[in-house]
Structure 1
Amino acid sequence: MNDLNPRQREAVRHLDGPLLVLAGAGSGKTRVITAKIAHLIEHGGVAARHITAVTFTNKAAREMKGRVGKLLDAEAGRGLSISTFHTLGLNILRRELKAAGLRAGFSIFDEQDVEQLLRELAKKNEADKDTLQRARWQISAWKNDLIDPDTALSNATDDFGGFYAALYGAYQRALRVYNAVDFDDLILLPVSLLRTEPALRERWQNRIRYLLVDEYQDTNGAQYELVKLLVGVRGALTVVGDDDQSIYAWRGARPENLARLRDDFPRLHVIKLEQNYRSTGRILRAANTLIANNEHVFEKRLWSELGPGELLRVVNCRDEEDEAERVISEIIQQRFNSGAPYSSFAILYRGNHQARPFEKALRTQNIPYFISGGTSFFSRSEVKDVMAYLRLIVNPDDDSAFLRIVNTPRREIGTSTLETLSHYAAERRCSLFQAIDELALGERLKARPLSRLREFSAWLSHIGRSSEDSPVDTVRQLLSDLDYRDWIDQTSGSDKAAERRWENVEDLIGWLEKLRADEKRGESLGHMVNHLSLMDILERQDEEESGDRVVLMTLHGAKGLEFPHVFL
């Protein structure tokens, strides 16, 4: 603890009741969390397997794990859980399948799956794309506020509200039919279980005997409730947050959750970390002046021992093209004068639509750059194809996965055949895959399309039966049976593009192999698919890119990052 300042040490050593660490930007909060985990294990009498730390991004969780690994030997840290909120929720659902009304191998729907399902459910209403987008956001907001479909319907004040609420109800029923959950359900369902099942709640409170939460100002209503239910009356809790860093209200975050802590935990102790290790005096004075206009739950003022630093410059430009040219000119000059790498420069803006003039200016000068918010690995068509096959193997009720791959590669199963199958499945209230093998379907379809569907069903069922013995070998067999490499060659624009796409497939297999190897018992295919599905969703919010490039990103995306040269 010698490298901690007095306030940081106080936060690490405080074990008597709930603690709020009010941590200003750059004040060493991650160091405090990791040091506290080590202190709990080495001096607090809490076994690692009973400690859980949660944060919001994979990147933050990985960083935390890495730092804890340097403080503890492998044996002392065995069983420690450091994850995102949604990974914690997923783990609860995996262990409480029956109580949650789910079956093994349940699917996690991503945004595209959700949009497709809502579009299908709203087909009769002829809702346009914008209406469905608003519906998706509204349903997500209701879930984050723990509002169920019946309550949403009773609270509706106009036709649109009524339509969204009715769609919400139909959407939730469809998810159950498909044995699926969406991203928000990974918090909503565990909260519901912990609220309504006392024995289950007690079991999880005994399993998690100390909880640490990072970036608490970014929690929404459901996440706050999850924390409260897991902690219980024991109050063994440390949360780290800063209401001045709350920038995600637009996606449900509630900075007032910091104030609610005092109401729900009367013994709450507050420690302020105000020494900044990241910025110089002039930057902090400017930030403090701006922040002074905010409403504050807890007052604080950041200070630094790094000296005054360089002057902040405000430059007026004629228009966006002039602005871009002057910024890029400044980058060239700084690089010439100091030899600074391109990766030390960041251009930040409010929205991605503002990137275009900077891109143009950078390309003109042949300067490499990276725009945060590019295509996710899991968004690539070949990766989504393979993941859809795996999702359908572990959860045959996943209609979204079925529809993606039933003709990939082509099986000459036409849209009229799929429409007939869909109508039949809806009447029978079963999944599309299950409907294929029902005898009565033969009365609706001609012999050839029925035969193709049943050949597909028999083959995939055969693949599925071998999946638990050797999941990775099963994937390779699946790709071989499909002759998927040939399909990629046929559908790619060039040999180089085909090679890149096949490398993505190999990378996916590599991830599956790593997941299998990381677990001593060996992960089942269902668990691996769940893990990768959640990783997909989280990685889209937490992109990383290496290399010597100028970084362009939104102000929201830059939260928690550091660059020597920043242009706003």
Structure 2
Amino acid sequence: MVINSEQQRVIDELDRNILLLASAGTGKTNTLAYRVAHIIESGRCEAHQILCMTFTNKAAQEMKARIETLVGQAAKAVEISTFHSFCFYVLQQEGKRDESLYSDVTIFDEEDCKELYFPFKPRNMRDMNFASLISIVKEYRSVYGFYSDSMIEDYKQTIQRLQCEQSKQIEKLFCNYNTLASDELSEFWTRGHEWITRYDESLQSVHGVDFTDLICGVHRLFQNPDIRKRWRSRYRYISVDEMQDTGSLEYKVMEMLWQGNHVLLCGDYFQTIYEWRGSDPFRLLEAFTRDFNPLKIIFYKNYRSNRTLFTMAFKTLQHMFPQLVGDVYDEMPEADSASDGAPILVKGCRNEYTESKFIYDRICALPKDASIGVLVRDNRKAQRLSEQFERYNQDKPESERRPFMIIDEYKFFRRQEIKDIMAYFKLLMNPNDAVSAKRIIKRYVSGIGDARIRDIESPKNRSVGLKLTDFMDMPIFEVEPYAKLVAGLEAGEVVVYDVESTGTDTTQDRIIQIAAMRIDKNGQEIERFERFINPGKSVGTSQLVHGFTDEYLAEYGESPEIVLEAFKEFSKNRIIVGHNVNYDISILTHELARYNLGEPHFKAVYDTLDIFRRFYPTLENHKLGFLSSHFPINHTPTHNAMDDIIATGQLLIYAVHENIVPTTTNRMVAINQYKSAFTTIASQMATLRRKMHTDNPTDLLAYIMNQMGVLAYYKSHGEMAKVEHIRELYRIMESLDKEYKGTTGLARLNYILQLAALTAGEPQQMTKQSKIPIITVHQAKGSEFDYVFLAGMNQGVFPSFMSLREGNEDEEKRLFYVAITRPKQELVITYTNESQRGQGTAPSAFLDYMPRDSKLVERSM
């Protein structure tokens, strides 16, 4: 790659913060990759201290591939992810220290969330509107900073303030066909905090987070200065791409990582197309410029389009935003291409039929292997074009047909059969995921319908500590769930356990303290285990949590092998209890494996966080400190492991005496009532759980299909087309499995699940498909094609009727600019003179911004 002078400045400048203004096709991704390589090769920091955040998974993968080409193995340690992926990583890592989170937390997509909010949604409100309502309230809770221990009070205050400051925005969500549902709106103002609290409690009960929680959860965590400092100190160089699409809350989260680090913010003012979602780049860049004094660099050379396309697009931009373009650009940008290319064709068609036929015929005249994109303003237009193209295809021999696909319909991971299969994987990763359990039961388990599921989830069964997911696990049918715990207390074989560590990554961080106490049935200490480990690495900022310095551990810490072996023996064949104990078990297991010490041998494991959430689901929160003050125990926990286990032990004894023992008979009656219906699926899930630690995800998928009856189900229902989609899933997983560089088993499965959850409208396969995509301009952002057809350029369509009514044409102009910068070789724009009903229609006013030079734009009626 030839590096121009502006690109070289970005690569070389490693001391100052940078504000990089780079429009489409200016070589931004390559430049950022070379900069990362330069940082590593110059020894400015270690690769793992570099964080690159991008807007899409596709952009993140491109960046990873390019950096790996430049620096080889070192690139694998660079953190390159989307903003949502980064937030999910933070939530997972902080699950140990914040009991409002779980280390086995999973992301629930928009379809899964419907199941959880349905009981609270007003009857006549659209799902999409209610989901938006929940998201708005959650985001404003964060914006307003209402972070008390009472979630319901926080939401109450948030909604009261929204009623004063944002009532019009909320009212829109309660409108159907321009009619305001005033009764439902009134109920929201008075009871909305209850709806959203119950929804959040439902999410917590299944160990889930929604997309909004990813951002709000990290924002809440970063209010803690110790957590904020810990994450800030992990990085030295941070770059954020597509900053113009960053919402104000996202900016606040990122900003908390920047102090003391080297920051590069990159984007294009004129591609801001998400103002409706809260992005405000002008205000954010003003704040960045004020607070971080960046060096401003502009890329002037375009490497994507030929000269005709580039000149047309830039002149159009100048006509739409003359003042702003003059303020941003000190000199005229130019295309690097030596080719002029054909003029842009603006074609007026009589109606949608002639428009679609014109586009179809033009596409058929292009080479079959050409990169082609059909762009539209909205999905309705995409659907109509798809139907018309399909009819034209039918008139041609199969060999001459052109395959099309609508990306909005192609949300691969949202297909029913794919979601059903992924439900098995989600349940493996998160055994509390009742939404996934229901999907599996309803589709593939005979004899269990909605009525029986409702009965299992009834208050009667919840009051004895049972959940639907319990019945998906064999142990519940082999012994009463708490029998081992009660018997262990009687025998003095219960060990309450906690660890402190150098961080929260169970695969990378090291244990520095193991504290455990064997207790009797009254919670009294029988035997104590407390040992310190010299981890062989600095504790870093984790010292802020546990208080143990490197010097202290050097003096009092023992060899890891000696302490781990001793605790393995201390805990052998005993009942292990902890508060949010999954983290402690996971990091211990990894440490034992690291030193080839085998696996821990516990008789059973119980989590007091899970126990109290089962029996006391409506408490304000379930943190150890809150529970210790709420219930009659006489010990206050600290972040010292020994203090925490004393409090945990006393809470355990309280729950056993007050909740577990008194409900034993009723619990057994309920279990026996459903045993016959669940035994087969529970046995199959048990086998799958054993396999998930050693088998690759593709092997698990093959087992699900062939041994768990899924293939037989689709054969018996005559739905073999769905089997083909599942085979496609197998191929995708095989490809992802090869790309993933980590360990086998759970880590790979978690990687695939996260990718699936965060790829809702951006299918991985889009660029690998031979089909021609029909996509909205929003979906096309970040993509490029040799040939682009922009259809439906009519006033009231593009710009949209809504934007015209609300006076929001500027964002539509920027969206038009995004559309005309997607092609590399040719652009064809079409509009119609008649509507679907035969009424006269006008071409888009945006076409008047295009240059009148016939060498650039050819206009045809």
Q: TM-score range by the shorter chain?
A: 0.7 to 0.9
Deviation at 1:38, TM superposition (A): 0.9
Structure (1 or 2) with the larger CA radius of gyration: 2
Over residues 421-471 of structure 1, what are the superposed CA-to-partner deviations in whole Å (9 max), with x where a residue is unaligned? Answer: 111355457632248957555687696544324664465356435543546
1:127 has 2:159 as partner: no
Moved segments of 4+, more than 6 Å: none
The answer to whether the 8 Å contact 1:195/1:229 transfers is: no
Q: Which runs of 5+ in 1 are unaligned?
A: none
Moved more, 442-451 or 85-94: 442-451
How far apart, CA to CA, are the structure 2 residues paired with 1:417 and 1:185?
Answer: 31
Q: Return the match for 2:334 from 303, 307, 311.
A: 303
1:388 has 2:614 as partner: no
Structure 1 residues 92 and 523: alpha-carbon distance in aligned structure 2, compared to 1, 3 A threshold? farther
The answer to whether the 8 Å contact 1:27/1:277 transfers is: yes
Give, as a single letter, the amino acid of the residue that structure 2 aligns with 1:177.
S
Over residues 361-386 of structure 1, what are the superposed CA-to-partner deviations in whole Å (9 max), with x where a residue is unaligned? Answer: 43315333233223333223333223
Structure 1 residues 551 and 420: alpha-carbon distance in aligned structure 2, compared to 1, 3 A threshold? closer
Q: Return the match for 1:468 from 670, 685, 693.
A: 693
Aligned-residue identity in percent = 26
Give, as a single letter, the amino acid of the residue that structure 2 aligns with 1:137.
S
Give, as a single letter, the amino acid of the residue that structure 2 aligns with 1:518.
K
Give, as a single letter, the amino acid of the residue that structure 1 aligns with 2:27.
G
Deviation at 1:326, TM superposition (A): 2.4
Give, as a single letter, the amino acid of the residue that structure 2 aligns with 1:248.
Y
The answer to whether the 8 Å contact 1:485/1:502 transfers is: no
How far apart, CA to CA, are the structure 2 residues paired with 1:129 and 1:343?
Answer: 44
Say how many residue pairs are matched.
548
The answer to whether the 8 Å contact 2:52/2:238 transfers is: yes
- The corresponding residue for 2:94 is 96
Give, as a single letter, the amino acid of the residue that structure 1 aligns with 2:231.
W
1:558 has 2:780 as partner: yes
Over residues 195-219 of structure 1, what are the superposed CA-to-partner deviations in whole Å (9 max), with x where a residue is unaligned? Answer: 21x2222222221111111101111
Structure 1 residues 141 and 528: alpha-carbon distance in aligned structure 2, compared to 1, 3 A threshold? farther
- The corresponding residue for 2:403 is 368
Deviation at 1:23, TM superposition (A): 0.8
- The corresponding residue for 2:447 is 412
The equivalences for 1:421-500 within 5 A come to 421-424=456-459, 425-427=461-463, 431-434=467-470, 437=476, 439=664, 449-453=674-678, 456-457=681-682, 460-461=685-686, 463-464=688-689, 467-470=692-695, 472=697, 477=703, 479-494=705-720, 497=721, 499-500=723-724
1:25 has 2:245 as partner: no
User: What is the SS of the residue equivalent to 1:315?
Assistant: strand
- The corresponding residue for 1:186 is 214
The answer to whether the 8 Å contact 1:19/1:238 transfers is: yes
- The corresponding residue for 1:45 is 44
1:239 has 2:265 as partner: yes
1:319 has 2:351 as partner: yes
Give, as a single letter, the amino acid of the residue that structure 1 aligns with 2:781.
K
- The corresponding residue for 1:537 is 757
Over residues 53-80 of structure 1, what are the superposed CA-to-partner deviations in whole Å (9 max), with x where a residue is unaligned? Answer: 1101111111111111221132x43411
The equivalences for 1:51-450 within 5 A come to 51-74=50-73, 76-100=74-98, 101-122=100-121, 126-130=122-126, 132-144=127-139, 146-147=142-143, 149-157=155-163, 159=186, 160-196=188-224, 198-232=225-259, 234-255=260-281, 256-265=283-292, 267-279=293-305, 280-281=307-308, 282-292=311-321, 299-300=328-329, 302-306=333-337, 309-332=341-364, 334-335=365-366, 340-341=367-368, 343-363=370-390, 364-365=392-393, 366-424=401-459, 425-427=461-463, 431-434=467-470, 437=476, 439=664, 449-450=674-675
Deviation at 1:488, TM superposition (A): 2.5
Q: Which runs of 5+ in 2 are unaligned?
A: 147-154, 164-184, 394-400, 482-663, 791-861
Structure 1 residues 294 and 189: alpha-carbon distance in aligned structure 2, compared to 1, 3 A threshold? farther
Over residues 80-123 of structure 1, what are the superposed CA-to-partner deviations in whole Å (9 max), with x where a residue is unaligned? Answer: 1111112212222222112343223222101111111110333x
The answer to whether the 8 Å contact 2:64/2:75 transfers is: no
Deviation at 1:150, TM superposition (A): 4.1
Structure 1 residues 477 and 329: alpha-carbon distance in aligned structure 2, compared to 1, 3 A threshold? closer
Deviation at 1:19, TM superposition (A): 0.9
How far apart, CA to CA, are the structure 2 residues paired with 1:440 and 1:296?
Answer: 75
The answer to whether the 8 Å contact 1:13/1:36 transfers is: yes
Moved more, 321-330 or 438-447: 438-447
Deviation at 1:41, TM superposition (A): 1.0
Q: TM-score, normalised by structure 1?
A: 0.87
Over residues 242-278 of structure 1, what are the superposed CA-to-partner deviations in whole Å (9 max), with x where a residue is unaligned? Answer: 111111223333323222212332x222111122222
Structure 1 residues 463 and 341: alpha-carbon distance in aligned structure 2, compared to 1, 3 A threshold? closer
- The corresponding residue for 2:741 is 518
Give, as a single letter, the amino acid of the residue that structure 1 aligns with 2:106.
S
How far apart, CA to CA, are the structure 2 residues paired with 1:298 and 1:163?
Answer: 48
Give, as a single letter, the amino acid of the residue that structure 2 aligns with 1:208.
Y
Point out the structure with the larger strand share.
2
The answer to whether the 8 Å contact 1:343/1:547 transfers is: no
How far apart, CA to CA, are the structure 1 residues paired with 2:728 and 2:314?
Answer: 47
